[in-house]
Amino acid sequence: MTVSMETLQKYAKLAIQTGVNLQKGQGLLINAPIEAVEFVRIIAKEAYETGAKNVHIEWNDGDLTFEKMKHATMEVLENFPKWRADGLTEMAKDDYAVLTVYGENPDLLKGIEAERISAVNKAGAIALSEYRDYMMNDKIRWSIVGYPTSGWAEKVFPDVSPEAAKDKLWDQIISIARVDQQNPMDAWDKHNETLKQAREFLNKKQYKKLIYKAEGTDLTIELPEHHIWHGGAATSAKGVRFNPNMPTEEVFTMPHKYGVNGTVSSTKPLSYGGNLIDNFTLTFKDGKVVDFSAEQGEEALKHMLDTDEDGARRLGEVALVPHESPISQSGIIFYNTLFDENASCHLALGKAYPTNIKDGSNMDTEEMDKHGVNDSLIHEDFMIGSAELNIDGETKDGKLEPIFRNGTWAIPFE
Ligand code: ZN
Ligand code: ZN
């Protein structure tokens, strides 16, 4: 790789300090593609130097995943090993920080039947639900950083040599994650401050509804009472700051699971379990998807929507991202949710983050339902932002106020 050692060290330091904010004596779990081994060694070294008591790596490899998905019996695919789920949950219970180095090839599972993919996704979601709860409730600190695997780089830059594609993707990742700035950690502090202003404005307003209008989109999203907007740095249950996604450009909250009506059209492709779903439209009635179509990947979309009883057909997240965000300005489609979701206003089908509503982390299933908090085995972001998107907020007394105009913020910033 041609990215310099110095840059990789800056990136690793940013992930450990600003990302998971690793504390002395804490354990670190890293999920990473085996292709990223050099970078992971640098991260592990940084973690130990910061005082990590242990660094545990869960390796993955695209080619091996493909072979298994192609050949293993359904019985194997439908059974996520208990020892593996137990191990991960044990680390979460022991307050390990979790850092995911992410660079999935969007076409990895091309040609694998949708039934097989959804069986694996479902088994994993069920087996890892306790482990995932630690993260979705910010009980432990976690972060995701991008890494340009060859498969991903070649998908994003198909017209140059594989080596050049990887270099080009490195350049993008380094710049989007602000690693190329004089002091990346200061740059992140400044960025977090802007996101904080936006979320505090929206939290004070407590809009009753958001109304989306753009070509192919006419959608009303009701927000539950006492919803909370988050964005930028989060605070863990132990009161320690961390940055869950690097990059992140969004402020987000939860929709009311029974209060979404109208039609929304995607503006970027969605990579779901190694399959691309593109140019799709969803129609909602009382919160539930009652009609859908897709120019590409309709079968995969159907399987995703049918993952569970009806949670996968309802929304769990509504996120605002200005169209002039650095990722959007790059003009590149990354085929990777971590990057594409931060280029664009988006929604997520499936589970809501309990932290997006007052006392959400203490609600049982019944209370969640009563407050409009969606639960599901999936949480899948899809992109709906564009330079044409207008969003209004409806106040409690029925007044409409502009939140987004022509794809960007229409609220006052200091
Ligand atoms: Zn989001
Ligand atoms: Zn999301």
Instruction: Please tell me whether residues 167 and 212 are part of one structural domain.
Output: no
Ligand 1 centroid–CA 137 distance in Å is 15
Q: What is the pLDDT of residues 24-64, one digit of tens each?
A: 999 999 999 999 999 999 999 999 999 999 999 999 999 99
Ligand 1 centroid–CA 328 distance in Å is 15
Contact call for residues 275 and 114 (beta carbons, < 8 A):
yes
Ligand 2 centroid–CA 66 distance in Å is 25
Ligand 1 centroid–CA 252 distance in Å is 6
Instruction: Please tell me whether residues 169 and 305 are part of one structural domain.
Output: no
Ligand 1 centroid–CA 351 distance in Å is 12
- Nearest listed ligand to the Cα of residue 315: 2
Return the pLDDT at 376.
95
Instruction: Give the separation between CA 102 and CA 134, rounded to whole angstroms.
Output: 19
- Nearest listed ligand to the Cα of residue 351: 2
Q: Tokens 């091996």, residue? A: 64
Ligand 2 centroid–CA 4 distance in Å is 32
Instruction: Please tell me whether residues 212 and 129 are part of one structural domain.
Output: no
Please report whether residue 185 resides in a domain: no
Instruction: Please tell me whether residues 328 and 396 are part of one structural domain.
Output: yes
Ligand 1 centroid–CA 135 distance in Å is 14
Please report whether residue 236 resides in a domain: no
Instruction: Please tell me whether residues 54 and 12 are part of one structural domain.
Output: yes
- What total number of domains does the chain contain? 2
Ligand 2 centroid–CA 12 distance in Å is 24
Please report whether residue 394 resides in a domain: yes
- Residue 46 belongs to domain with CATH number: 3.40.1830.10
Please report whether residue 85 resides in a domain: yes
Instruction: Please tell me whether residues 149 and 206 are part of one structural domain.
Output: no
Return the pLDDT at 1.
52
Instruction: Please tell me whether residues 206 and 325 are part of one structural domain.
Output: yes
Q: Which of 128, 195, 166 is nearest to 379 (CA)?
A: 128
Return the pLDDT at 271.
84
- Nearest listed ligand to the Cα of residue 385: 1
Instruction: Please tell me whether residues 165 and 208 are part of one structural domain.
Output: no
Q: Print the domain residue range for 261.
A: 201-228+250-409
Instruction: Please tell me whether residues 224 and 121 are part of one structural domain.
Output: no
Instruction: Please tell me whether residues 212 and 299 are part of one structural domain.
Output: yes
Any idea how long the chain is? 414
Please report whether residue 254 resides in a domain: yes
The pTM of this model reads 0.83
Q: What is the pLDDT of residues 298-319, one digit of tens each?
A: 999 999 999 999 999 999 999 9
Ligand 2 centroid–CA 352 distance in Å is 8
Ligand 2 centroid–CA 333 distance in Å is 18
Return the pLDDT at 10.
97
Instruction: Give the separation between CA 246 and CA 173, rounded to whole angstroms.
Output: 10
Please report whether residue 245 resides in a domain: no
Instruction: Please tell me whether residues 258 and 377 are part of one structural domain.
Output: yes
For the chain, list residues with pLDDT below 50: none
Ligand 2 centroid–CA 408 distance in Å is 20
